[in-house]
Structure 1
Amino acid sequence: MTDTDAETLAERVRDGELRLYELEDHADAETAAAARRHLLAEETGVDLDVIGEYAFDAADAEPNIENMVGAAQIPMGVAGPLPIDGGAAEGEHYLPMATTEGALLASVNRGVSTIRTAGGATARVLKSGMTRAPVFKVEDVAAAGEVSAWVREHVGDLAEAAEATTSHGELQDVEPYVVGDNVFLRFSYDTKDAMGMNMATIATEAACEVVERETSADLVALSGNLCSDKKPAAINAIEGRGRTVAADVLIPHEQVEERLDTTTEAIVEANTRKNLVGSAKAGALGFNAHAANVVAAAFLALGQDAAQVVEGSNAITTVDAREDGLYASVTIASLEVGTVGGGTGLPTQAEALDVLGYAGGGDPAGSNADALAEVIATGALAGELSLLAALSSRHLSSAHAELGR
C-alpha cells in the first residue's frame, strides 16, 4: 500500500465512482481502510493517525467489521488471581477486563482478594441454550393450536432439518407461544463453544421451511423478539439464554471486617434495601449492584458481542448472614459467551482468552465456553462484594476521589 493508492481511492469515492463499502473490491483491506481515513480527514478536518494505528492485519477483521477505518483502543487491566472451584473452570484465573471506568479494576480486585482469602469461590453453569424465536401468522386461534400441537409432536423432524446446517449445534427444544393469530416458536440450541447466534439463526431458518411446508403457518420474521436478543426481557430472566451461571462464596465474618472494612450485617442490609427492594421498586429485571460493569469489561477484552451485555446484566445478587460467615452469590440468567467465532479470533482478544486459559474449542466441546461463563460470573461476584462493601461503609465517593476518578 502507498499513500497514493489510498488517496486515489478516496478521490474516486469523492467523484462518485465508488462507494465506501466497495473499496475492498478494488484494493486490499489495509489500503481500503487508509482511503476511508484519508476521505474522512479531508471532509472533517480531523487527524486520524491514532485511529489508524492498530496491531492486527485489517484483512483479519473483515468478518467483524464493514467500512473499516481503524480501531478503537480501550485500556485493558486484569483482575486476579481468582481461585474458582467450577464445573468447567478450575484453579486460579486472571480475568482480562477492558474499560474506561476508573476504579472498576481496583474495586473488582478488592473483591477478588477477599474471595481468595476466603478460599475461593464456587461456580457452575446451570443451563445452556442459545435461542431464536421466529413468528408465524395463521388464520385464527384454532389454526394456532393446530400448529403448536404439530410442532410439539415433530421436534425430531425440526431437529433433523436444523442440525443439517451445522456440524456442531444441537436442537434441544422448541416451545410454541400463541398470541391471537401469531405463533412464536422459541428454538433452543446447544451451540458448544460458540456463542451461537448465527448458528441458531441459520438452523432455525431451515426448520421454519419444514413448518411452512407441513402446516398452515406462514413465516413473518425469522426473529420475533421472543428470543430475546440484545433487549431486556423477562423470558431470559426466567428461562435463560446462552449460559445460566451462578457463583458463590462464604467469607468468615472477621475477613469481612478486615478485607472489606464493614460488617456482614451492613452488607446484608445494603443488598436487601438496594439490590432487592430498590430494584423491585424500579421495576428492574436485574437485582444487582453493577454486574454489567464486569460483564461489559470482560466482553470487550475477550471478543464477545458487546451488545449482549443487556442480557448479561440480568443478574440477581443474594447475601445472607450465616453463623460462620457472609454468604454471597451472583446468578446471571442469560450470559451469552463463546470461545470460538465472532470477535474471539481477533489478535488482542485471542491473547486475552489465552491469558484466561480458555481460547478455542474445549474438550469436551462446550467446556471452554462454560469455563468462560464461570470465570465472568465469579468476577461479577467480586465486583458485587466490593461495591456493596463500599456502599455499606460509605466509602464509595471517597474511593473514587482518592483514585482521581
Structure 2
Amino acid sequence: MTDSADLAARVREGDLRLHELEDHADPETAAAARRELIEVETDAALDTIGDFSFAASDAEPNIENMIGGAQLPMGVVGPIPINEDGEGGAAEGDFYLPLATTEGALIASVNRGCSVIRTSGGAAARVTKSGMTRAPVFRVSGIAEAAEVVEWVEENVEELREEAEETTSHGELLEVTPYVVGDNVFLRFRFDSKDAMGMNMVTIATQAACDLIEDATTASLVALSGNLCTDKKPAAINSIEGRGRSVTADVTIPREVVEERLHTTPEAIAEANTRKNLIGSAKAGSLGFNAHAANTIAAAFLATGQDAAQVVEGANAITTAEAREDSLYASLSIASLEVGTVGGGTKLPTQAEALDVLGLRGGGDPAGSNADALAEVIATGALAGELSLLAALASRHLSSAHEELGR
C-alpha cells in the first residue's frame, strides 16, 4: 500500500494533485499525506489538526482535501423546560442544549437565562412556518414574454410538483412564487424538507422543475439560484417570508424572579430592549432586532452539525420584552432558522452525539418533528441568551461579568 510520505512526494513532484490522493490511498493516509505536504511547504506543525477522533472516511461526504479536524470547546446549558403543557409544540420536556464556542462567558450567560426560564415554569415555543426555498432566474425577451411564462407556471403548478417530487422520497413542493424584473423571471420554490435542512434536496428538485419550464416555455434558465432564495446572505425576504423554520419562543417571568435572579426590574429590561434592540436596530438599518441571538444559534449550529454559514439567516430575529403588572413577558421570533436532524454535518460522530443529548438525532415521527423540535430548543436557548444579556445591560453588570470570568 502507498504510504503518506510517497504520496506527499508525488504531489510535490507534480505527479498527483491534492484532490486525487483518495484515488491512490484510504482517506486516513490521504489526509496524512496532505499534512506532510503542508508541513514542508509552510513550516507549520499540524500535530493537533491531525489528532482527531473520527474516521476520515466518515467525513468524505462533508469535505474535500481533508487534512484533519478542527476542535472547538463544547459546553452545555440547561435543562430548559419547553412546552411542558403538552399542547402543540414539537419539543416537549426538559432539554440540555450543547453549544460549541470560543467566546468566553457565552455559556455562563445563556445558562443563567435557562435557569431563570426554569424557575419561571418553563418556556413555550412553536414553529409557525416551515419551508426551504430555491429561486432560479430565467431570461426572457421582455415583459410580455415574462407574463406568459408566469401564467404558464401558475397554471401548471401540479405538473411542476410531480416533476420536482420525483427526485426525492421526502420533499414536498408547497408553492412557487413568481417575481418579474424586466427581462428576468425569478421563481421562488418553497419545499417541505421534513427532518432535513434540505438545501441539497430542494436544489435537485428545483432543477427538475426548471427543465420542465424550459421545455414548455420560451424562458431560458440562467442560474439555478437567482439569490431570491436567499441563502447565506442578509435578506429582507427571509425576514418577512421566512426560510427553513420560522420559530418563536416566549416566557413569562414573575417580577420577584427578575429582581432576585437578574438583579433588575421588568421595566428596566423592557426599556433596554426597546431602546437597544428595536430603536437602535432600526436606526442602524439592521435586519436583526435582537441583542445577540446569533451567538447562541452559531454555537448550537456548530455543536449539532448544521450549516454554519446559515447563521446569517438565523440572525433575522426580533426580541420583544413587555413589563406587565407582576411579571416580564419576553419573546424571540426567528424568521429563518435553517436546521435539520438528518443529512449534512449531522452524521459526523461528534455532532451526532450532540443530537443524542437532545434526543433528536435522525428522522422524527411524524417526519419533520425532530427538526421542528430542534428549532424550538435553539430558539428557547437563544431567548435565554437574550434575557441574560438584556438583564446585564439593564443592571449595568455586563463589563463586570466579563471581568469576573477573566474574558
Q: Same fold (TM over 0.5)?
A: yes
How far does residue 324 in structure 1 lie from its aligned partner after superposition?
Answer: 3.0
How far does residue 153 in structure 1 lie from its aligned partner after superposition?
Answer: 1.2
User: Which of 29, 39, 48 matches 2:37?
Assistant: 39
Partner of 2:53: 55
User: Which of 82, 86, 91 matches 2:80?
Assistant: 82
Look up the SS of the partner of 1:327 in the other structure. strand
1:361-400 correspondence to structure 2 within 5 Å: 361-400=363-402
**Alpha-carbon distance in 2 for matches of 1:311, 1:47:** 36
Look up the SS of the partner of 2:99 in the other structure. strand
Bigger drift between 334-343 and 322-331 goes to 322-331
Partner of 2:299: 297
Q: TM (normalized to structure 1)?
A: 0.99
Partner of 1:19: 17
**Alpha-carbon distance in 2 for matches of 1:188, 1:11:** 49
Runs of 4+ in 1 over 6 A off after TM superposition: none
Partner of 1:92: 94
Look up the SS of the partner of 1:167 in the other structure. coil
User: Which of 160, 176, 188 matches 1:174?
Assistant: 176
Look up the SS of the partner of 2:77 in the other structure. strand
Bigger drift between 269-278 and 209-218 goes to 209-218
User: Which of 341, 344, 369 matches 1:342?
Assistant: 344
Q: CA RMSD in A?
A: 0.8
**Alpha-carbon distance in 1 for matches of 2:89, 2:153:** 34
Query: Which sections of structure 1, spanning at least 5 residues, go unmatched?
Result: none
Q: TM (normalized to structure 2)?
A: 0.98
1:249-328 correspondence to structure 2 within 5 Å: 249-328=251-330
**Alpha-carbon distance in 2 for matches of 1:148, 1:267:** 49
Partner of 2:124: 122
Look up the SS of the partner of 2:14 in the other structure. coil
How far does residue 146 in structure 1 lie from its aligned partner after superposition?
Answer: 1.1
**Alpha-carbon distance in 1 for matches of 2:50, 2:36:** 10
What amino acid does structure 1 have at the position aligned with 2:242? Answer: G
**Alpha-carbon distance in 2 for matches of 1:320, 1:346:** 41
**Alpha-carbon distance in 2 for matches of 1:340, 1:286:** 28
How far does residue 305 in structure 1 lie from its aligned partner after superposition?
Answer: 0.2
Look up the SS of the partner of 1:279 in the other structure. helix
What amino acid does structure 2 have at the position aligned with 1:51? Answer: I
User: Which of 44, 67, 70 matches 1:69?
Assistant: 67
Are 2:132 and 1:136 aligned?
no
Look up the SS of the partner of 2:117 in the other structure. helix
How far does residue 46 in structure 1 lie from its aligned partner after superposition?
Answer: 1.2
**Alpha-carbon distance in 1 for matches of 2:393, 2:5:** 55
Look up the SS of the partner of 1:55 in the other structure. coil
How far does residue 47 in structure 1 lie from its aligned partner after superposition?
Answer: 1.1
1:191-202 correspondence to structure 2 within 5 Å: 191-202=193-204
Over residues 187-226 of structure 1, what are the superposed CA-to-partner deviations in whole Å (9 max), with x where a residue is unaligned? 0000000000000000000000111111111000000000
User: Which of 15, 23, 28 matches 2:26?
Assistant: 28
Matched positions, count: 403
**Alpha-carbon distance in 2 for matches of 1:40, 1:183:** 46
Percent of aligned pairs with the same residue? 77
**Alpha-carbon distance in 2 for matches of 1:130, 1:395:** 40
Bigger drift between 86-95 and 354-363 goes to 86-95
What amino acid does structure 1 have at the position aligned with 2:260? Answer: E
How far does residue 245 in structure 1 lie from its aligned partner after superposition?
Answer: 0.3
